[in-house]
Structure 1
């Protein structure tokens, strides 16, 4: 059963995904990850499209570099091949140059 979309969260989502922008700083990203963890989020994926790196943070602890072929959320059917993330991002410009459109 699909739950309705709510404007205010009353329970934590299973997964939060942070896609880094050029302006993001690691310290600020870690602050957001800790906020998610304190909220009770089970998993956080941090994706850097430029470097093609992905870090995974569980419900506690620091993010670790992900080196497997698929992203999963333990105890759920969520599974996403890493190649699909980067294939999707390759189709869209990263927005560095406003004149490149």
Structure 2
């Protein structure tokens, strides 16, 4: 196995990667993307937040760079900001919500490091959606808790998303 190549933060920030990559303490980390179920769920979730942006006071951004620490950058599949949040090029504050969509070969165990990074930054709402198993979870440092009623919610807000509707739309095509 080849040794990891470390690059400085400045090089990461001035380089365009396709697809974009996480940067963790000097190492580039590839993200599993590119399969239709992943991309479609990402579009559906982003679309739901866009449709309700005025009512919910939010804006949803797919694949937005998010700075956890000076040497750690993550790119959630969907980041949801409050309308009052700054419009910085790279997010360096805790957004309202980070959504991770599992790709075919992802596991919840592998996702835990990303969840821990979001929690370190102060993100209180983290969702993980598995289009392959038709499941969704609330994620935290303690692990993953499956929704018990088929809905994803953000406490103390009007934000509620029906998984049945999300997965029905996924199955349309």
| Fold shared, TM-score > 0.5 on shorter chain | yes
State the match for 1:62 in structure 2. 143
Which of these residues, 105, 109, 125, is aligned with residue 23 of structure 1? 105
Deviation (angstroms), 1:43: 1.1
Deviation (angstroms), 1:81: 1.0
TM-score, normalised relative to structure 2: 0.47
SS at match of 1:63: strand
Unaligned ranges ≥5, structure 1: 93-101
Unaligned ranges ≥5, structure 2: 1-56, 58-82
Higher RCO (C-alpha under 8 Å, 6+ residues apart): 1
TM-score, normalised relative to structure 1: 0.76
Question: Larger Rg: 1 or 2?
Answer: 2
CA distance in 2, matches of 1:6, 1:86: 32
SS at match of 1:64: strand
More strand as a share of residues? 2
CA distance in 1, matches of 2:123, 2:145: 16
Deviation (angstroms), 1:54: 1.0
State the match for 2:133 in structure 1. 51
Deviation (angstroms), 1:79: 0.8
RMSD: 1.9
